[in-house]
Structure 1
Amino acid sequence: MKSSAEIIQFPIDRQIYFVRETARVLERRHGEAADRFWKLTCRRLYARLQVQGMPATEIEKEIDAFCQAVYLEMQHAAWAAWESQNPKGAA
């Protein structure tokens, strides 16, 4: 009797450490350096998912979700930094 199983990968956008670390690196780099880092990160992510046997359409969805997660993390960090520098309730 043959049995088969489907492997479901943990979503990339839920890998909090990876998302936060990527966001922190992008916050420190600017211009060409940031572009190179971002492209390299996405290419490596694509290759990793491809090796794991994920179809191209699913890989693109995972990368899109990862991009959104990194962008949101950068927004949260910027907002937190802004809040920490502005007094609350000062008249």
Structure 2
Amino acid sequence: MRMLLKVEMDTAASNEAIRQGSIPGLMQETIARIHPEAAFFTVEDGCRTGYFFFDLTETSDLPAISEPFFMRLGAKIHYSPVMNPEELAEGLSRLSGRS
């Protein structure tokens, strides 16, 4: 299932991780683990925030994905299932019985 992972990083913890130079490694580890279609970084609600769009094959992978962000960055994590335009069109066609 295609998922959106939102990582909202604690400012103090991420400041320290930047000082230590560990954020690039954490992001590389995450990208190597989940192989996202896309990854974007921005500021949301005054916090450093990352968005990763990836295919979740096993729900049992969630702790391995989330825990490094919790433990190393004091992050808030949010997962949402998402669709691309083709999947949305397929889902909507099912509503009208055209599938």
Question: TM-score, length-normalised on structure 1?
Answer: 0.37
Give the structure with the higher percent strand: 2
Question: TM-score, length-normalised on structure 2?
Answer: 0.35
Give the structure with the higher percent helix: 1
